[in-house]
Chains A and B, each alone.
Chain A
């Protein structure tokens, strides 16, 4: 309960900061086109239409009132409600990120504990070096390499997009319930999973090594349990704590990275929308995008806090 209240406060604070930050940015939403729209008359008219001619405090009031009611205002660029533009894109982002991150954690945990078990082997050295190198490469570059190798050279995956252009669909859900969607999802998901699993992998390995030196592991071994059972049942559970922390960290990190990855894969998600709306000073859309992404990070934090409680009963909130 206390955690929830804190999360809500964080969001409110974030919303306020966003409002202020965007208005501090250089540039003016009425000046985004090189055309006759730069006519002062037209600009005045646009300013009025966008509600930017009102005092800042009043704008803030409207913004907050809208937020509480789940509205984000009307987009300057698209001329329609920001919510309508964002809602669909938001799910597209989630559908790419959530499976990718789950896969990344699964891979990271399993491979991480496995290489900890095989400490000192060539395999361990290879995996550790590989993940450090991989993790240090910028994500957009990795994405381009993936497209080049798998889509152009091997020609087994499409080069981007969420569905084959020109697809037929009647309902919203139907867009996602198809093999075509999975086929398009595969490459970016694989890329994200491999890219983001490096972090939990390294964390897991370190934690495992630490845990494996502890007394209770020796006890387990003394009980005559098989090494596999000791590693995957006892040592792994105790090493999961730092992974729980990394959920929120990696979540935030991946959210930022999705902007680039979505652009490279032409994935119709929030990331691309964000870039466009910031460039065009489209306050309502930009604020809503950042707020949603912020909410995702806050949620990630909440989640990792709750995970802590489950994994380690000593730190449960009372």
Chain B
């Protein structure tokens, strides 16, 4: 007992002496350098434009006195596990693709930043957790009045801008090209050329009436609406299957297979179907098929669609061509996202399938503007016009041709082996410009690139620190050197391209390293004699 007491006294004595000694030189002794930051990114081989941005960001962070280790991760494996599931990173370079269903602000505001989505696997990568913000994000998805909803959406963008849970760098353009000698006048959807709307509206100029679509994005793996899981597959699914609502080229949801939509109250929506719709096998499409589709999908957990349909409480058949949707709670994106993305399945086919997730679904029977012809895996996918559709396409058919690399598609377009290319790189633009038969489309998008700081970890938990880093992203340089001008400097989480929802008062932070240093200094951060950035002394 006595021994322990003696030890305690000795330790207390020694430490107080040490403490006094340290107090004499507080600046020199207590500075704790910030540990090496692990910045993850897509690799050069997969998404070079993301990796190159990460390189530039890392270089600028180093100029602030940080140590940065850049770690490229392959998508999907192991990136999804590390970044999305385990959230094991200090900061990550990310791209939020400008998909059609992300035009609705719900994705970039609620899915990406609501605190309920900060768990394993969900999209709130930064771990942003702010009660005031959560309330705003919830309110916007319940507000049906567009003007009122916009006010809340604007407010959300301001809060995000202030707290910087995502350092937006740029919104990149989509560069696509097609053969204008043989085809003309495609309506370009807000999600770009790679969309079913292109195929519904493009017109042949001469005798060649089959539009050949060159793709290198990834091989088509499934046309089963329960199994499909990538936005690349939208173009096939929504050519063959109809949805009740379709998002028009201007980005607004419009009735498609529906004749009219009627909001009875904020949880009840009535939908009247078009007259005389038929599936490709000749059987009529009725209200029963609609009811069946939603019940069937809810039962079988479709990979992509599950989140879109879980708001539906029940579907009731009112008459042969009228259904009533009841929602669990008011959900403003219901019309655009739920009705706009759910393909109507024929009951007489799917009710007989025992293991729908293992069903190959060849041939797929839908009611859409195109009918399935053949699918040769990793080679091609062929569809033909459905002349009985209420909005028949102008071309006789569409042939998707799959290539191993982006260069191969480019070569094929130049050689006229295909009529369009989904992904033109800025470097290829100059070569294509010389060819008269090719029209190049340079389309702004709402794709949002940026660095996501992991707020769960030090020093990113400090909003001042994040604000300083927001000033250390060379946005203009990225636009010029990474995208050769085919991008726009980004500020808000809702891109400028998304005009209706974008808040013009949210401006990009200027690139200014001196200002970044000043913010850090003001927040108490210091640099040690080696020039390393250190935490504020306690």
Contact = CB atoms under 8 A, between A and B. Distances in A.
Given A155-B415, A272-B378, A27 B306 contact: no
B358 A79 contact: yes
Contact of A160 (B303, B357, B412): B412
A255 interface: no
Interface in A1-58: 25-28, 31-43, 45-46, 49
B80 A35 contact: no
Contact of B303 (A33, A165, A267): A33
Contacts, number: 158
Nearest to B411: A159
A25 to B, nearest CB: 7
A220 interface: no
B411 A35 contact: no
* Interface range, A side: 35 or more
B219 A272 contact: yes
Interface residues of B, number: 55
A89 interface: yes
B489 interface: no
B513 interface: no
A306 interface: no
Contacts of A262: 404
Interface stretch (A61-69, A103-111, A237-245, A275-283): A275-283
A31 B399 contact: no
B224 A79 contact: yes
B380 A263 contact: no
Contacts of A212: none
Closest 9 CB pairs of A and B: A27-B77, A36-B307, A38-B121, A263-B404, A26-B78, A32-B76, A31-B80, A33-B229, A268-B378
Interface of A: 25-28, 31-43, 45-46, 49, 74, 77-80, 85, 88-89, 144, 147, 151-152, 155, 158-163, 165-166, 262-268, 272-273, 276, 279-281
Interface of B: 74-78, 80-82, 84-85, 119-123, 210, 212, 218-219, 221-222, 224, 227, 229-230, 301, 303-304, 306-308, 357-360, 376-380, 382, 399, 401-405, 407-408, 411-412, 414-415, 417-418
Given A31-B77, A79-B224, A166-B382, 4 more contacts: A25-B77, A74-B358, A266-B405, A266-B408
27 contacts: A26-B77, A26-B78, A27-B78, A27-B80, A28-B85, A31-B77, A32-B77, A33-B230, A35-B303, A36-B306, A37-B229, A37-B303, A37-B304, A39-B306, A39-B307, A40-B120, A79-B224, A147-B411, A152-B414, A152-B415, A159-B411, A165-B379, A165-B380, A165-B417, A264-B404, A265-B404, A272-B219
